[in-house]
């Protein structure tokens, strides 16, 4: 092919109707081919914009057709038409000279979805930025490519022991088979491994939590390789204690003190809240379990007649509320509350708050998983003061950790 054959003065970029093409996209091969065409068109449009800006700034040059360049991408080999100017002063920034590989558009679209953008917003942004049209069905197909990764992640082998596992749930509206949106709970389990790093062990959606549900989760964790959990910090999850201990009989259950305090203050009149809170603080801030029980007894004598439901909640759940008193201060600080998992929940809420509801369980799981991929980048560092904490664990749980810590 001659140099002249490479030059196309009239049609610098081939226009493609992606919405029309996407209607016939039925197989993985079709999707790969369409994604490849889209990527080629997107890059060539961006290069065209670069050249036009360059000509506007330089002022003494003009378009001079294109030349061929092949690059490798996630979608395969791309044969691009790179625009040029008559003075040969234009230097492409998107595909610099010498570069032969580029990243795929799939990841960019998935990244936008992970930040909570709707398909409509993604389609609009792609159209505005790259001057190409993509149908909702094509975008959905691209995002659907993440499903095998989610399945592999949810079924991956876990570590044999976790010193701490936090469990909590968030409620979302999900459309059911009748077309109505119902509240469903998305449950999380975040483990702290022996290196002190956080890890989302799994997430599960259910209509009703209870012993049977938690038994299935505990069994799944065991089947995926977990041999022992030293301490489970939970938010008073219904049926959790019985279920977890039937699978991991030696796991210590610590009910979240912060959640218990919030529950208590909801039922205390504003006139008495400050006084009640001062008495309650003497319970959960006590230096020892004995001192805490003495303070709880005084709380009962003073407040039970006025607030029997609140006081009884502390007394009836005392075994799980007071478990942290058995450990040193470094361990106490990280198990007496589920703040670790609540921080994760807040980040998920930032992404999902703009969505009134989800069309299916799978769409919620997909979005939360993608958000977790971004969040977990910051989880590569051990939690603060972990060296001291694991040292204390090795003393408190010597027999159970001896085979795992070298």
Indicate whether 208 pLDDT > 80. Answer: no
Answer whether 0.85 is exceeded by the pTM: no
Q: pLDDT of 365-404, one tens digit each?
A: 988 988 888 888 889 899 989 999 999 999 999 889 987 7
State both tokens at 288: 């020892």
DSSP codes joined into one string, 322-377: SGGGGS-HHHHHHHS--HHHHHHHHHHHHHHTT-S-BSSHHHHHHHHHHHHHHHGG
Q: Under a CB-based contact definition with an 8 Å cutoff, are residues 385 and 332 in contact?
A: no
Determine the pLDDT at residue 293. Answer: 97
Nearest-angstrom CA–CA distance, 228 and 241: 15
Q: What is the pLDDT of residues 321-331, one digit of tens each?
A: 999 999 999 89
**Tally of residues, the chain:** 406
Cα angle, residue 207 at apex, residues 206 and 213 outer, rounded to 5°: 50
User: pLDDT digit string (tens) for 96-151?
Assistant: 777 777 655 556 666 666 666 667 777 776 666 555 566 666 667 666 767 888 88
- Please tell me the distance from the alpha carbon of residue 254 to that of residue 4, in angstroms, as a whole number: 76
Residues above pLDDT 90, as percent of the chain:
39
Lowest mean pLDDT among 4-8, 146-150, 307-311: 4-8
Which ranges of 80-154 does DSSP label H, i.e. alpha helix? 105-114, 119-130, 136-144, 147-154
- Beta partners for residue 172, in sequence order: 184
The reported pLDDT for the residue numbered 7 is 35
By the 10 Å C-beta count (0-12 exposed, 13-18 middle, 19+ buried), 27 is classed as exposed
pLDDT band at 26 (very low <50, low <70, confident <90, very high): low
């Amino acid at each position: 092919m001659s140099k002249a054959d490479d030059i196309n003065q009239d049609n610098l970029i081939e226009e493609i109707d992606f919405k029309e093409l996407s209607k016939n996209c039925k197989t993985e091969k079709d999707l790969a081919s369409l994604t490849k065409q889209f990527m080629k068109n997107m890059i060539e449009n961006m290069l065209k914009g670069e050249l036009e800006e360059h000509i506007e700034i330089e002022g003494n040059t003009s378009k001079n057709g294109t030349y061929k360049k092949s690059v490798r991408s996630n979608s395969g080999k791309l044969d691009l038409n790179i625009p040029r100017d008559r003075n040969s002063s234009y230097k492409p920034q998107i595909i610099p000279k010498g570069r032969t590989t580029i990243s795929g558009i799939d990841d960019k679209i998935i990244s936008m979805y992970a930040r909570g953008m709707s398909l409509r917003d993604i389609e609009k942004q792609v159209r505005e930025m790259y001057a190409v049209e993509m149908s909702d069905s094509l975008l959905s197909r691209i995002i659907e490519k993440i499903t095998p990764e989610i399945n592999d992640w949810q079924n991956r082998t876990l570590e044999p022991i976790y010193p701490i596992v936090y469990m909590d749930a968030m409620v979302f509206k999900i459309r059911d088979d009748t077309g109505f949106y119902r509240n469903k709970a998305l449950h999380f389990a975040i483990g702290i491994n022996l290196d002190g790093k956080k890890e989302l062990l799994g997430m599960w959606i259910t209509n009703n939590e209870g012993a049977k549900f938690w038994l299935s989760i505990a069994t799944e964790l065991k089947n995926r390789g977990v041999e022992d959990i030293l301490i489970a910090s939970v938010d008073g999850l219904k049926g959790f204690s019985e279920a977890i201990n039937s699978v991991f009989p030696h796991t210590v259950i610590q009910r979240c003190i912060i959640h218990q305090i919030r529950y208590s203050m909801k039922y205390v009149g504003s006139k008495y809240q400050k006084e009640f809170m001062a008495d309650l603080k003497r319970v959960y801030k006590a230096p020892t379990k004995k001192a805490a029980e003495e303070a709880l007894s005084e709380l009962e004598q003073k407040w039970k007649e006025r607030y029997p439901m609140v006081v009884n909640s502390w007394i009836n759940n005392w075994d799980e509320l007071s478990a942290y008193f058995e450990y040193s201060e470094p361990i106490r600080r990280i198990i007496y509350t589920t703040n670790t998992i609540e921080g994760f929940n807040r980040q998920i809420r930032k992404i999902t708050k703009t969505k009134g509801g989800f069309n299916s369980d799978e769409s919620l799981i997909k979005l939360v998983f993608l958000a977790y991929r971004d969040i977990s980048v910051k989880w590569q560092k051990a939690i603060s003061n972990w060296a001291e904490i694991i040292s204390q664990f090795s003393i408190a749980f010597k027999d159970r950790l001896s085979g795992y810590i070298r």
